[in-house]
Structure 1
Amino acid sequence: MRLRRLDLIRYGKFTDRTLEFGPKPDSGPDLHIVFGLNEAGKSTALSGYLDLLFGIEERSRYNFLHEYSAMRIGGVLEFGREGHTFSRTKQRNNSLLNAMGQPVSEVAILAHLAGLSREAYGTMFSLDDETLEAGGKSILESRGDLGKLLFTASAGLGHASDTLSALEAEADGLYRKQAHGTELALLKKRLAELKSRKDAIDTLASTFETLEADRLDATEKYDRSITERSVLSARLDSIAKYLRAVPILADIRRKTAQLAELPDIASPPRTWTGSVAEMIDEDASLRTRLSANVDEVERVTTKIASVEVDEVILAISERVRGLTDRKVRYISAGLDLPNRKTDLQILDNAVATCLAALGRSSEPEPAALLLPAAIVGAVRNMVEQRSGIATSVRVARDEAAAALDALQTARERVGEERAVPEPARARLTSALSKARGSGHLREIKTAREAEDESGIRWEAAVRRLHPWSGDAQALAKISVPSARQVGAWKTRSAELRTSRAVLSERLAEYQGNHELLSARLDALRASVDVTDDEAAAIRHARDEAWTRHRDDLLGATADDFAVALARDDSIGAVRLANARELAEIRTTNRSLAETAAVISRASAQLSQIELDVEAALSEIRVSARDLLGDSLESSPE
């Protein structure tokens, strides 16, 4: 920015005075020196220039000639070699005017001042004699903004002022006179608080000695009390042990007296104490098993001795075994009976349909309607003759129609064509006679009769293929299983039927045996007072009583063990009395388990046979699907 002209219109002692500096030269210095006598108006002109840029001050001292409302200055400012005319009046708002006298924004000038304030601009660019002297002193004393600016400019430290400002702010934050929020003030306040707390908890030396003596005395008393308490606790534990040993001592004395009354025998080792109960149980178990085995041997021996050899039955034993196969066949026939009944129902329906077609639905004996064989043969011959006659009639009718057509055609041509010559007529007559004398008509008739007979046989054959339906081409496309394959299917079907019948019979027999064994087991359990499970529970209770007594050695536990032992002995006696029944119960249980396993195995085999049957049916369905379609029955036959 450059000042080209300054207009002191009404400012200070000037009225309509202009200072012209001219345009900026293209080359050379652009320096203008304003000089004059004292009170000539040099300072007034400088103040007028600053007021033009920043506005006339509120308390301006240049109103001694013109009133505030009349004060006015102007000038031309160059911004980038382009001149702009402005004027300034003394008022609070809209004091900057353009060349047309209209208010403009302050930004028009401030935008070119780089944010400098009036003071900063005056310090940097408005130097006079007084400011130079004050600046020199500031430089010497390193005070004041001017001194700072000149010092930093001469030293080349452009950011020294910012650093000094930051240091001054930091110093003010550390300490500032009569300030309460500085760091030093806060630390002093904290120090005072700590001193107050120290004074509050501080103790005099005499008081501390008294308190320390009391503490030592209390510690000594506490240690002495702990020692006495330990001694008393040990004494109480000893007394408690003695009290617990009193009943045991009485029991020992009683048992010692009992032992003294018994004869002298060798004492067993102490290691036998833990195995006595096991030995008792094992002895009882062995005795029971021995008794059961002896009884079983006696029973089997008696049964063998009571068996009488029947020579007659032995002689027919082979026949009896042979009846097994017949029994299987009988069972198979019984299983196949529903299928046969179904076939019979189908035939009955067919007979009823035939009777309805004959108008004899109420006939009680359809067999009476059957014709004798001779009549049937004669009827068949008549049917065949009728078929030949019908064929001849049809052929004759066709020939007659053809002859009529030929005659009509010939008659139509008679009038159109000229008369046939005699030689040609003779040849035609001869050819006609030969044709009539030949056997072509007879051969045609025979061929047509054969065709009709073939059609009848075809229809009969197709009816026999029911439920299949279709023509000859469809029948030719069907893949028919070979005779070998059909035979294999029949053999497999017979084997499956036989196996299923045998397994079904065996399964029924095993299930009957299982029911008999279950009933027998229930009866045996009802006759026995104590079962194995109850005996095991009583023995377990005895072992627990013995374990508790061995751990505590009290009179109460000894009594409990005696009761449990007596109960176990009584149960053992009862079981010895029922040893035979118990052995039979165990044998029956084993037989029952074996029978259940056999039933399970037979059921699994029967299920496997059913799966094999289903697989065979699936194979047959796949092979015969084209011929039978969806009408295949669910039977391996």
Structure 2
Amino acid sequence: MKFLTLNLEAYGPFTNSALRFSANGFGLHVVYGPNEAGKSSALRALTNLLYGIPERTQDDFIHQTKHLRIGARIAGNDGATLDIIRRKGRKNTLLDATGQPMDEGALASHLSGVSRETFETLFGISHRTLSEGGRDILRSGGGLGESLFAAGSGIANLRDILDALRAEQDALFTPRGRNQRLNAALTQHAAKVQEARDLATAPRVFEELREEFDRRSAERNAIQRDIDDLTRRVSRLDRLCSARPIILRRDALLAEQAHVANAPLLADDFARRREAAQTALAEQSALRARLAGDVSRLTTDIAALDVPEALLDMAARVEKVATTESAHRKAQLDRPRIEGECAEFRTRATRLLAGLRPDLDLADAGCLRLNRPQRETIRSAGEQLTRATDRQSAAEQAQRDTTRALDTARTALDALPAAPDVTELAATITRAQSFGDLRTRYAEALKEHQTAQKDVQTLLDRLPLWQGDIDKLTALPVPPEESVRTAEADAQRLDDAARTLDTDIDRLRHERLRRAADLEQASSGGTVPDHAELAAARSERDRTWRLVREAWCEKSDAYRAEFETPTALADTFDRRLHEGDATADDMFRHAERVTLRETAQSDLRRIDAELTQLTDQKKRLEREREDFTARWAALWNPCGITPLDPAGMRGWLGMRAEALRHAETLRSRRQTMDGIGDTVRACIDDITACMTALAQPLDADTRLQNAIARAEALVRDAETTRQTRCDMEREIRRLAAEAQTAKAVAEDAATLHEKARLDWKQAIAPLGLASIPAPREAFAALDDITDLFVALDEAASRRTRIDDIDREFAAFSTEVNALTAALAPELTTLRPEDAASQLGVRLNQTRANAEKRALLSAQLADARSALGETETAIARAEAHLRAMCAEANVTTADALPKAETASARRRETEKALREAENQILTFTGTDDPTAFADEVTDTDPDAANAELARLTTERDRAEEQRTALDREIGSLKTRLDALDGRSRAATCAEEAEQVLAGMQTDVDRLVRLRLASAVLTTEIERYRREHQNPVLTRAAKLFSTLTLGSFDGLRADIGEGDEPVLMGTRNGDQRIEVAAMSDGTRDQLYLSLRLAALSHYLDANPPLPFVVDDILVHFDDDRSRATLGVLAELARRTQVIFFTHHTRLCELARDAVPHDLLLELNLPGC
């Protein structure tokens, strides 16, 4: 697929603009536009056309978002074309040429299944992605798989992606970490599980406390029942006492209701309506009186106005003469001035005619009037004669100048020496310059060699435990890295085990001190019986009881073996019974101390056993460390080094490896420097040989820069001499041809001049002049003739204006006289202008009076209408008041306020009665209201208040007892909770499960990250295996081309980590690491890989346009030419669109790209 046209109809800064690409083949299209010309918008337009304009776009700064449009004509791989338009929207955004929606599949078939992301990364490259790709190759150490995969996928920041995956994994979990989220969560979970296991089981005292708790709870429930019964009795008495005043008030309201029962119940707004009706009646009566006065006044004013109807009938005629009066007055004032101007123009005409033809007067001047063709003929003939004269003079002068220049050039050519042949010398200079600035390169190579030498020595000086040169260090028989890693792991294991043992021993010692302190605290408050003493007391009590029961029930005398009399037996049993109960009570009272002492004794026994075990383990670990130290020292004996710990020696090996790498770099720098020196000597020898052959030998110690300068000066001199001779010979040939041409031109000019003179004589004949004037004199006579007839025409115009003034004033005077005779005879004695002005004043006054009469008549009609409406409103208000009297059952309106007062009193009484009934209902509860009211009436209030006070006091005492029991129960509950570890154990187990649940999200994320890393790494390695040979072969050739032969190519090698890496090659077998390349060279390496991967893709897939965004801004001219040539070769297989801000790149493209492949375009508006 390729673009034929890109129509930027409304997008970014563009409006109805287009880019038209080549229709023949693919080609390299260089699109130029200066800064701020819209290059970025055009780049985005290409991608957004194919895949849609994003929801948020930065290209709507001129056109509204809904109006954005991009169009194109594309050609498929089968040659078929497709016209499409892309609009901004969420659906149906792809349109055909007619603006109708079309299926996205029609466009997708041309894209061959390539997604937007693939198109932007694989088929597009910018200076930013080029630089990122070069830096990524450096950061990966030239990793072959990563470099090939990044180039093949177009992902310039692949190393950033891999590092980000690893960093996020390390932030979640590391095998030896502690502060990572999953490591910390695992530690917290283990601590919670151990805490749940360590919680002690409740002692036997717990059951006794539980029985006491249940007994006190039962007592509390019984007291609560008594409080509830007392509360009910207090509540009823309180309701009876509280309802008594309300019931008495209700009885008073019933008596009041009987007095106002016959008063009429008027509406709530009755008083407002009555006041409104009376107010309206008063207002309308006052309005009626005022309107009657207005009618009388307006009638008088209308009768007093004077309006002559005759003047109004002739208003148009009067108005006409009044408006034209000022014009006629002005015309009479202008008439003397116009007569003077007429005489002046006739005098001027007479003077002009005397200068032209003194034999004619003004009456005969018409013979001099020329028509337009005659005037144009005279001017044309005069101009032709002037040009012919000038042309003849110029041709004769040119003929003389050309002949003189030809003679001078022939003389100079004869005096110029011949130029030597410097072709071989120029070729030698070109070969020398093709190597670049060898002096600078040698200086840089020398500086790099010295730097590398200094770096190697610095590393040797910094390397501890050993002294010697780099060669001895290289030959040193150091242990294998695997052995060091194994030893480091063993040392770390021993250190971890030792730290763990020390931590455990310290923890147990601190715990033993705490348990010993607990035991001392439990024993400090006096002797406390333990369970063994309680068991012994109860055993003696039970044994004595068995003797009592045998003596009582079986009549046995076995007790006499121990006791002399039954009384002694009974006394002993009674004493032992009280001793057992006292021991149990004492243990109950000191339950916390008992539990603390027993727990401390048990823990001390356990801690002592664990300390003994850990001490034995520590001794075994110390013996194992001694064996490890001996083996580790023996491993380094061949090197003669007393080693540090394995971690330190691994760092020592790293420093040694770094020194060896710098030594390799030093050797590479030396080879580079020697190669540049050989090239310099070869170039000097070649230039010296050529200069000697041209009789310009060089000194034996001449430097290359001076040799090239002298050789270039010689070449320039020879080329200047040769070019000068060529230029002079070409100039002589040109001058000879010009001399022949000048001679022919002079002859033609003479012939044309004679013809123009004859035409001029014929053209001026109508003027009747005595002699043939020069063209300038004839043109002046034509101007005088023009001025003559202008003056005559102006005089005639003034005469016509005077006649018009006289005629119009006569008609105006006749009309004014007729009007004054009919309308105002007293004005006939005035001048017509003054009479017309007076008639106009009278007409305006009459019109004003007529308008005033009409206005007063309208006001009179409005006043009469309002008076009728007022009479109607008065009648309506009186009828309303009569209806309200009937409603209130009174005869006159004056009695209405009294009726309103009686109605309000009845309404308030009934409302208060209803409120009292509702209040009584709030006290009755479930009782019958009537029975409740009777009970209230029958109850003695003093006796009820006394009973209420007694019951309240009794309830308060019961609540105090309940509060005391609550405190005792709370204390028992606290002691029970302290002895019951099951709740805390359950809490710890629950918290441990919560920790596990909280870890699930991080575990899932860690699994996904590790899976993503594994998949990406596997895919990178698969891509390397499948595409290494074809892509690397092409990239090597491209890399050599792009670096102008500074590198021979690329090679896959094995790096320090036994991983495949990418290296550049020079001189066949010299290998250059990526780290030793310059930034620009790494950019060219990445570009080579990208172009090789794209070419490999095109071997098996249909082509798509390759879009390049100013990637050459940091390339010099030579490497820019080479890159453009490579893009031109790619353009034979797919369309390449190269956007740039730089005109220099356009010039280089014309030089580097074949004309059949290059098409230059400018952004619209440039």
- TM normalised by structure 1 equals 0.27
- TM normalised by structure 2 equals 0.17
Point out the structure with max Rg over C-alpha.
1
User: Highest relative contact order (Cα 8 Å, sep 6+), 1 or 2?
Assistant: 2
